[in-house]
């Protein structure tokens, strides 16, 4: 119903309110068929109608991106649903720990229950970041260049730093060791 009323309203606005007694969508259909038959260029009429349809759809339907998941609000590409679950568990344990004030034994127990998942969560984040970075570097079309950069940045390629030149007392630079 919302789509139909939106489409009728948009079509009437495009016609500047002419002939509002068309009888709903059937009247609009009749008017459109007459317009197509009388128009010298059918393409413009079709384009106008398509624009009206798209506008009515945008107004009527809530558009939701299909690729969005529960984790899509994260700004990093390596975030996974498993990390979201771990984060929720860690936050729940932290909340329990922070709410325990009176009983020291219970507080220590809950602190232990909080610290273990927190370490697991941090390790999972490091692992996901590392694998994402590794995958990014290996998927590049210029593998040799990127894999070299990856090895250096990952600390797997220990290249000797080039010997720098020294300035002598007379202001000239040395050329060898």
Give this prediction's pTM: 0.41
What average pLDDT does the structure give for the chain? Answer: 77
Contact in structure between 157 and 166 (CB atoms under 8 Å)? no
pLDDT tens figures, 99-115: 998 899 999 999 999 99
* pLDDT tens, residue by residue, 69-97: 554 555 778 888 999 999 999 999 999 99
Bridge partners, 173 (sequence order)? 167
């Amino acid at each position: 119903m919302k789509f139909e009323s939106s489409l009728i309203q948009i079509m009437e606005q495009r016609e500047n309110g002419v002939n509002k007694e068309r009888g709903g969508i059937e009247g609009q259909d009749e008017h459109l068929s007459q317009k197509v038959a009388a128009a010298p260029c059918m393409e413009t009429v079709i384009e106008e109608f398509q624009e009206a349809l798209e506008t009515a759809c945008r107004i009527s339907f809530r558009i939701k991106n299909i690729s969005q998941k529960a984790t899509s609000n994260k700004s990093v590409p390596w975030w996974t649903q498993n990390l979201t679950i771990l984060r929720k568990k860690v936050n729940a344990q932290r909340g329990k720990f922070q709410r325990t004030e009176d009983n020291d034994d219970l507080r220590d127990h809950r602190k232990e229950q909080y610290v273990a998942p927190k370490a697991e969560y941090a390790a999972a984040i490091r692992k996901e970041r590392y694998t994402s970075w590794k995958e990014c570097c290996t998927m590049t079309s210029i593998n040799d260049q990127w894999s070299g950069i990856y090895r250096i940045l990952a600390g797997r390629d220990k290249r000797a730093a080039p010997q720098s030149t020294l300035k002598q007392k007379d202001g000239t630079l040395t050329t060898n060791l």
